[in-house]
Amino acid sequence: MTAGGYTGNLFHTFNDAFLPAWLTVQHLRRRVVLAVLAYSPWWAGTFRELVLGLSDHHVIDLLQDKRTHCFPGAIVGSRFHGVLAVDPARTKDNRTLVDFHDFLLDAYTINTTTNTSYSSRRPRLGIVSRKGTRVIENEAAVAELAPSVGFDVSILETANGAPLSSEYAAVSAVDVLAGVHGADLTKLLFLRPGRAALLQVAPLGVPLIARSCYAAACGMMEVDYEQYDTVPSESSLLRLYAADSVVVADPEKAKQGHGWEFVHDVYLGGQNVSLDLDRFGETLRKLHSRALLRLVAP
pLDDT digits (tens, 9 = 90+) for 30-65: 999 999 999 999 999 999 999 999 999 999 999 999
Alpha helices in 4-74 (DSSP H): 10-12, 19-25, 41-46, 48-54
**pLDDT category of residue 113 using cuts at 50, 70 and 90:** very low
Res. 162: pLDDT tops 80: no
Q: What is the CATH classification number for the domain harbouring 183?
A: 3.40.50.360
Same domain for 125 and 95? no
Q: Is 272 helix (H, G, I), strand (E, B) or coil?
A: coil
Rounded distance, CA 74 to CA 97, Å?
25
2 is a domain residue: no
Give me the mean pLDDT over the 262-281 stretch: 97
Radius of gyration (Cα) for the chain, nearest Å?
Answer: 21
Same domain for 214 and 259? yes
Same domain for 90 and 142? no
Same domain for 187 and 97? no
1 is a domain residue: no
CA distances (Å), 80 to each of 77, 83, 102, 128, in order? 10, 8, 19, 28
pLDDT in tens, 83-101: 999 999 999 899 999 999 9
CA distances (Å), 49 to each of 14, 106, 224, 225, in order? 13, 9, 27, 28
Same domain for 196 and 80? no
Which one, of 142, 118, 171, 145, lies nearest residue 291 by Cα?
118
Last residue of a domain, one of 92, 107, 122: 107
Beta-bridge mates of residue 61: 36
Res. 112: pLDDT tops 90: no
Rounded distance, CA 185 to CA 181, Å?
7
**pLDDT category of residue 239 using cuts at 50, 70 and 90:** very high
Rounded distance, CA 161 to CA 164, Å?
9
What total of structural domains would you count in the chain?
2
Q: Is 257 helix (H, G, I), strand (E, B) or coil?
A: coil
Q: Domain range holding 155?
A: 113-296
Cβ(228)–Cβ(204) below 8 Å: no
Same domain for 102 and 119? no
β-pair type (176-180, 197-202): parallel
Same domain for 139 and 191? yes
Rounded distance, CA 120 to CA 244, Å?
50
- For residue 114, what pLDDT is reported? 47
Last residue of a domain, one of 107, 141, 159: 107
Alpha-carbon dihedral sign for residues 206, 209, 211, 214: negative
Same domain for 233 and 146? yes
H or E segment to which residue 157 belongs: strand 152-157
Same domain for 170 and 39? no
